[in-house]
Amino acid sequence: MRRFGIAALLAAGIAGCSGGGSPMLPASRQAPSGTVLARLTIKVPHRTRAHRRGHYVSPATASLAYAVDGVTQTPVTISPSSPNCKVNGPISYLQCSVNLSIKPGNHTFAFTTKDAAANVLSANTHVTFNVVAGSSNTIPVTLGGVASSLAVYPPAVPQVVVGSGGGFTVYGKNALQFSIVPLDADGNAILGPGAPQPVVSAAPVSMTMKTPAPIAPNLWTFTSTYAPTDPSVAKVSSISISATPVPNSGGATVSATIPLALYVPWIYATSENGGDAVVVTDEGGTAQPVSGTFPNLSSVNGIAYDPHNGFLYVENGGTSNITVYDLQGRQQTVAGSFQNGGPDQPGGIVFDPHDNLLYVTYFSSDSVSAFDEQGRLQTTSGAFANLTNPIGIAYDGADRALYVANAAGSVTAYDEQGVQKALPGGFPNLTAPAGLAYDSIDAFLFVTNTNFGGGAPGSITVYDTQGNQQTVSGSFPGLGQGPTSIAHDPHNDWFYVGDCSGAPVHAFDANGNQQTLSGTPSTYVPGIAIVP
């Protein structure tokens, strides 16, 4: 139901028309002396989505009660089986009418629609009009929608996640448009003339608010201003809304409070630009302050975030070890040593939230090892067979699968126990692949292809989880020769690509179009992690 309204035509009769485009129905009987014969008609739309934009009357309408000069008339029962109702075609409105006699002159009309449970859906209890005999008279009537609740519809973007309790989790600082709509007793939206106008009492905490434009009175814009000191901690906020009924509708004010949780994701990038470091920025590339220094790094490689304990795990190629930090860069002590029995340097790392395990690739020994969060080596039933110089590794939470990029020119897939999975696609057109990221929104895999010493820049190829190559509209421009790390940010659906040939970090959308970063990206980046 987009808006309410009913028009009544009076001459030899009254015809109520929901859309204003229906012809007046002729009188079917003789009026008593001194009166004119009138016919009141109401059209009720279908519930189907295709007809919502033309709705003037709630599709849940089951009866119309009306009065003339305070005298209650026989209500109209609105149903396909009612003798005064008909449907002219398979996609036509349900049309119901009733005859009445009325004297010429000034009259006061009242209209109320109800659903099958006698809940009031809309009303206008005070409509005055001068009926002139022998003329075609039109009474303009807008029914006021009677709201029983309020609904907030978020934008269909990855930055907003609907919570189980009716609230929303908001990521980042983009301007986001929410629709706030009053609903009638049957859950139909009340929009347009006669609709109670929703009002937000004040801007939510840590957000700015832009009120709706007149052409879109239900569309409110909110922008987060939250500046966290820890990206894993949300700012609790809420939207307090209300809607006051229009005059003569008989409705009551309804209100609601919608919980919000605000996050601002941070990007953690390992860098070998003049020394080992972990560089922290927001999604736009602006540096974020941390209190720690990420000590004891040595020839950094991959990095992984563990949301289960809030720690970062950083690979050190120079020591064949992995060091653990909190999100402020303070080193943490763990019980294990992250040793797989050999001196080989770790190259790629990923966290599996299903088993709370970390999987690490080892380039020279053609192996993958699993560790618990304390760095203790785990035994798996599979052997991660057929690896050749493995570097990048990604986890697919939907299929609980691990994908490994082999620098020799392939991608192999495994279950969480290291048992290889046979895939029909084969991952064609790879060239010295290094980085690997799983896109949880489209269920695609993005693979970086290096071209060290080849003169031309590297590239990125896209596949489904069966290894079939996918075509995207963009070309991932601006890459250096060594795009070795890639991470998918599910909160803005961007990919961040690090390069080990001196090029800065680049950001792309899921179609391969380059995105502008406001800050100065890092260079020589072999690992990237997104938090939260």
Return d(Cα 289, Cα 46) in angstroms, integer. Answer: 57
- pLDDT digit string (tens) for 21-37? 232 333 334 556 677 66
pTM score, whole prediction: 0.87
| Predicted local distance difference test score (pLDDT) of residue 25 | 30
- pLDDT per residue as tens digits for the range 258-274: 999 999 999 999 999 98
Specify the higher pLDDT residue, 128 or 138: 128
* pLDDT the model gives residue 28: 38
The rounded distance, in Å, linking the Cα atoms of 138 and 40 is 12
Look at residue 33 in the predicted model and tell me its pLDDT: 63
pLDDT band at 88 (very low <50, low <70, confident <90, very high): confident
Angle at 404 between CA 275 and CA 442, to 5 degrees: 100
- Dihedral angle over CA of 268, 269, 272, 277, nearest 10: 0
How far is residue 221's CA from residue 134's CA, in Å, rounded to a whole number? 52
**Cα(279)–Cα(268) distance, rounded to whole angstroms?**
6
Which tokens in the block code for residue 174?
A: 């983009």
Residue 377 to residue 56: CA distance in whole angstroms? 67
CATH class of the region 6-145:
mainly beta
Distance, in Å, from the CA atom of 403 to the CA atom of 415, rounded to the nearest integer, reads 9
pLDDT over threshold 80, residue 75: yes
Q: How confident is the model at residue 361 (pLDDT cuts 50, 70, 90)?
A: very high
First-to-last C-alpha distance (Å) of the chain: 39
pLDDT for residue 92: 77
> 149-263: what CATH class?
mainly beta
Q: Is the pLDDT of residue 14 over 70?
A: no
- Residue 50's SS3 state is helix
For the residues 330-357, what does the mean pLDDT come to? 93
Q: Where are the domains of the chain?
A: 6-145, 149-263, 266-531
What local confidence, expressed as pLDDT, does residue 193 receive? Answer: 85
pLDDT for residue 501? 93
Asked if domains 6-145 and 266-531 share a fold, the reply is no
Helix (H, G, I), strand (E, B) or coil at 362: strand
Three-class DSSP labels, 263-321:
ECCEEEEEECCCCCEEEEEECCCCECCCCCCCCCCCCEEEEEEECCCCEEEEEECCCCE
pLDDT digits (tens, 9 = 90+) for 409-463: 999 999 999 999 999 999 999 999 999 999 999 999 999 999 998 889 999 999 9
Fold classification of 266-531 (topology level): Neuraminidase (2.120.10)
pLDDT of residue 403: 98
